[in-house]
Structure formats: structure tokens, C-alpha cells
Structure 1
Amino acid sequence: MTWTDPGDPADVLTRLTGAFETAYDAPAEVVGRAPGRVNLMGEHTDYNDGLVLPVALPHATWAAVRRRDDGVVRIRSRQQEQGWEGTLADCAPGGATGWAAYAAGVLWALGAGAPPGAEPLDVPGLDVLIDSTVPVGAGLSSSAALECAVGAAVLALLGHDVDDSRERLVEATVRAETEVVGAPTGGMDQGVAVGAEPGRALLLDFADGSSRSVDLGLGAAGLALLVTDTRVSHELVDGGYGQRRADCEEAARLLGARSLRDVGPREAESLDDERLRRRARHVVGEIERVRHTVEAFTAGDLPALGRLFLASHVSMRDDFEISCPELDAAVETAVEAGAVGARMTGGGFGGSSVALVPEDRVDAVARAIDLRFVRDGATPPAHLRVEPAGGASAQRVD
């Protein structure tokens, strides 16, 4: 079995600050940290004004930064061969490309690209070095972790308390991803990367912007969260994600609704277009499943959780059409091997599954999935055992 190690935070910090000084011939001033996430329920509901129930991963991204006085921005990563260099003006939409756009876009969104009514921060030139233990392309929000780590570091560098600036950090990182990178995400990933509490899930309501933490009671129930990275890579800018969002918007328009949050099951089934009807059916049903999942976790109702996870996966596979054979195999095998429930998680088209597994069955379930992948001739997966972590933070480097 291959387990993805979240890394010891102290070791990562030491390694990153040492690498920063080697790369830039000067010490870092501030290091920001933000976690990846796994969503327990509520896929493609955030941009439909719906509900989501994610948890933050112990796997995180760190961003070390140092102020420059010449307006130049240099961005490097320990996971990437090529860095990026430009000016603050180049951080705007149409400037940086590839992975570096996620970091550069945050500088723009906090500074010159601040929305009307918001005071732009005086973002200086910066040297930035990234390190991460969040798997890339696994549907675990490595992009939002990168954005939020950079944003937290910049806020702290400029003297702002990250805890007091969470709303601004979420807004800036969402705009970086949608307007600079061009990925039409809905804000769940950034919301949990910033607002998560250790040991708890975060219930986010995108209709009114509210959130509350949810005690999952995993320890009392003897359960663990097992995430399986199928290693089938996905990209949110390749059209599939955007097409699903466009379908949802068109379905809401045809029904005369502001969003699918305002649509009931009967209304969704009234759509004449089969594809739009299936898209709407998934979203409307998924929002209800989030509500019921919170209730089931609170009550410790394991059979209900199993049914909800299965129904969600089937809906994503058949109605929203975002699963793939590897995800289906991971979900099916996890349940056969003893998981209470399992489902694909994330934007889809590859990525990861998440399973609720009795603590004494975690290794056995992971082994069963590995054997299934071998039998199917698929690339061996990797596994993450998840203890819900806290949100973004920053610290000055002594």
C-alpha cells in the first residue's frame, strides 16, 4: 500500500525555510499554511447556492515569503521544476499562467484587483517559495491550499491577523481562481481551507454565506476517514466542470429560479431536456443529502450514512456524469471490504474517493482497493488517513 504522508509541520517548516534561503540568498520573513480538503457530502452544490460538508486535511501547503522593494515577484515551488518571475502588474488576469497563476492571482486580488468598495492592500514585490503535501490533481483542493497559504502569508507580512481577515482571504482566493486561473469553482475549497476547525467538519451554506462546525463523532463511533487517490488526474479548466456549471445555470433559468437552491424535486423533474433534468436532479438531491448527512452524523446513524454516501455516488455517476471506472471501483470495493459508506469526492473526472471505515478495518479496506486496481490493470492508488485539521494560519520566521 502507498500512504501519502501529511508530513510533520515542524519538519516541513524547517525544510522550507532552509530551501528558501538557498533559493533566494535571504531568509523568509513569514510562512503561511493552508490545508487541502475532502468533501464528505455536497458535490457541485456550492455554485448552486447550496450546502456542503467538507473537512480540512492534515495534508497542507506552505508558502514562505519575503518582501522586495523593486516590485518584482518571483514564485517557485519545491514540487515544480519551473518557477515564474514577473511584476505585480503581471499578476493580473492574462499574466501568469500554469501553477504559478494560483499564487500570482492572490497577490492581484488582495492588491490592485481588490473589488469595488474594498480597500486594496499595498502588496509589495515578493519572493515566494511553496512546499506541499497535498496530492495534485486528486480532487483534494491542492489549488485552494496553495492560494490560501500564499494569501495568509501576505496578510501576515502586511501586519494583518489571519483570523480577523478570513472573509477577505476567502474572497481574494476565490477571485484568483476564477478570474486569473479561469477555473469556475464555487468557493467551497477556499471556505474550508480558511475556516476549518480541528477535529470537525464545516457546514457551509452558499445561499446566505453562513457556516458552522459539525462534530462528526468519528471517535465515539470507532470510525476513520479513508481517502483513496485514484491517481486519475483531473483539471478544472478543461471544460467538463464549466459545462456542468453552465448546465445548472441553464436549468435554473428555464425554471425561473435564481439558482437550483430554489428548486424542488418536482420542478427539477419537469425539465424537458434530459441532460438538464439529470443535472438538476443531482443538485437538488445532493443539497438534501447534506442536510440528512449532518443529522446522521449527529445521531450516530451509521446505516443512514451508508445509504447517503451510496446515493450521492450513484447520483454523481449517473445524473451528473463526473465519475470514472477507477472511482467506481474504489467505492464499490471499499463497501465490499467493510466500509460503512463510500463515495467519490471533489469536482470529478478522476480524483479521489472517501470512505467511512471502522478503525480496525482501514488497512484491510485499503489493501482490498489496491488488489482491485491490480486486477483491473489500473495505476496503483494512494491512500490518505484523515484526521480533520484546522484552517489557514501564518507565522513569522525567527
Structure 2
Amino acid sequence: MNKADSLWQVFIIFLRLGLTSFGGPVAHLGYFREEFVVRQRWLSEQAYADLVALCQFLPGPASSQVGLAIGLSRAGYAGAILAWVGFTLPSAIGLVLVAFGYQVFGDAIPPGLLAGLKLVALAVVAQAVWGMAVALCQGRVKMTLMMLSACVVLISSSIASQIGVMLLAAVAGLLLIRPHSSASDNSLNIGISRRGATLWLGVFILLLLGLPLLQQLYPAQLLALVDSFYRTGSLVFGGGHVVLPLLQAQTVASGWVSPEAFLAGYGVAQAVPGPLFTFSVFLGASMQLQPSGIVGALVCLLAIFLPSFLLVFAALPFWQRLRDNCRVRSALAGVNTAVVGILLAALYDPVWSSSIHRPAEFAFALLAYMALVFWKLKPWLVVMLSAGLGTIFL
């Protein structure tokens, strides 16, 4: 396959995922695993798990960063950009439209449709957790680490707890787990040198420290927006819902967006597929100061996602080299069990707790799970069917 065909394939696959990946970052990781590990076989189960573990440690939206890395591995820098565009574009367009008429758009969404999408997200996450547990948590030690990680995160769901669990699991893996294989056979094809990675890291730090100084020297709304959204994308761990308090403080408290518009936009952002970070598009288009509209939406979208590009480009080359070290492999095996435990905890809260309230909803989720796992229907088809049936029956 030539370069142009690879780029086109990356864009089309991620565009399809961007149109059908409902349910938030945990569900997105499930969709990605089904597409790139099971169907396309672009990377192994182990390589995918290691990549997810890395992105859990990086600030920013983990699912989008996983997508960037897969696109980069498949077709270089252009592949990373097209993967991001394909996955982000559908929700970005939807939220721009919402910004110009959010009250009418919000009222037009049938509650049953949203319920159906939440329930299929539950089935997707359950499928991903089961598949990753089978592949990565074999044996008494790994299963114990996975369960203990889930218990800790269920009791304390803060980002600090999640990072602490992964660090402790790394130590336990180093002491208790012997890796069965080398990472070399499972490595991503990353065409970035260590020198290039250092350069990307330098750009990330320069912007993080330099934008506030530049904004102080040259006060302007455009610079203030870029600084605010870039800093938010740089410092938020956990992605998705964790970013909302910071965005609210940056936009509502400063008077850029009204509280009513913020809440309405957030409600609809949860109903569209793709990354929740595209909520920045709605905020940028709804600004009460200039730039607003399409220009404001683009500025905020690019500013909040730019740190993800820079951090992924900076981290992957070093990560690839570290994975070949035997001791690092042992620690990473422990981290992977913790990641599965964190996903298991997320399966209960918020996915299960926000979706299952009565027996009929549980039955609906079981049918969606059966369609994915046993009938082997394509995820996008199950999403569409669940949305339609939810509109009728829920």
C-alpha cells in the first residue's frame, strides 16, 4: 500500500470512529481496540495495552492521544494529523452547530436516543475490559493486581489515586512479574528520533511557559484564548470530564461564556460521538468577545489539542526504547494490570451508574453486548441500532 492509500485509510477509519464512538474516553479505548487490534491488526494486544498505559500517564485526552500514536505509526506525521481530524471532525461540526442554536438543538434530542447510546457504551466498555483482562491479566498475581487496582479506584476515584495505583502496580510488577516476551516484536513504527522528540518536548515547555508571559506583554483576547486553552490541555490528567472545572473557571468566571450556555453545551457534548475535548469548539464559537464564531471555535480547538500532539511526539520514541528493557517490561506488565483495573472501575462508575437504573435497561445492555461479542456485529452498526431502538423503547 502506497503512502497516499495509507493516509486515506487512516482518515476513513478514524472518521468512521468519530461518527460512531459514543460513550466517552473509556468507551473510545474499547472501540479502538476492536478496530485496530482485532479487525485491522495494526498492532498487537500487548502494544496496544502499552500505548494505553503511556497515554494514561500523559496529560490530555487519553483516547485522542492513542489515536494520534496509531496514526503516527501507520503513516507518519500526516497520519497522526488525519487520525485526529477524522476522529474529531464529526463532534466539532456538531458542536459548532449547537453553538448557533443550542436551545433548539438540545430540545430536539429524544431522551431515549441518549439512553440507548449510554447503554451501548456500557456494552463496548464491558467488551474491552473482558478482552484486555483475558490478554493481560492471566495468572494469580496479575489478576490480584487488577482487582486491587479496581477496588482502590472505586473507593477513591481522583486522578492522584489512579496515578498512584499505576505507580504501585509498576513496583509490584518489577518485583513479582517476569515478562514472557520482548517488546521488540510488538513495537509501533515511530519514525521520530530522540533528538526530534527532545525538540517537540522543548516546544511544549516553551509554549507552556511563554504564552502567559506573551499575553502579559501583549494583552489581546486572541492570545488570552490560546494561553487559556493550551494550559488547560497541558495540565489536565484524566481527560474528558476532568477538564470541565478548568474550562468553566477559564470561560464562565472570566465572562467569556454565560453559565447557561456552558451547561447547555456540556449537555450536548456528552450526546455527540468523539472526544469530549471538542467541547472547546462550542465554547470558542459562543464567546461573547472576539474572536468568536468559526474563528473562535478553531482557535480553542487547536489550542486545547496542541499539547496532545507535542507530548505524544515527544514521549513515544523514548517509550519505545524503554519497552525493550526487561525490567521496564516487568514494571509495564504491572501497569497494564492496573490500567485494566481502572477500566473495570470505570465500567461501574460512571458508565454503569449513569446508564442502568431499571431492569429493562440492563436487558438492553445485555443485548448490545451479545450483538458485539457473540453475533460479531460491527460496533458502528450496534451503535446505530441502539440509538434507534432506544428512541422507540426507552
Using structure 1 for the length normalisation, give the TM-score.
0.28
Using structure 2 for the length normalisation, give the TM-score.
0.28
More RCO (CA 8 Å, sep 6+): 2
Compare the two structures and name the one with the higher strand fraction: 1
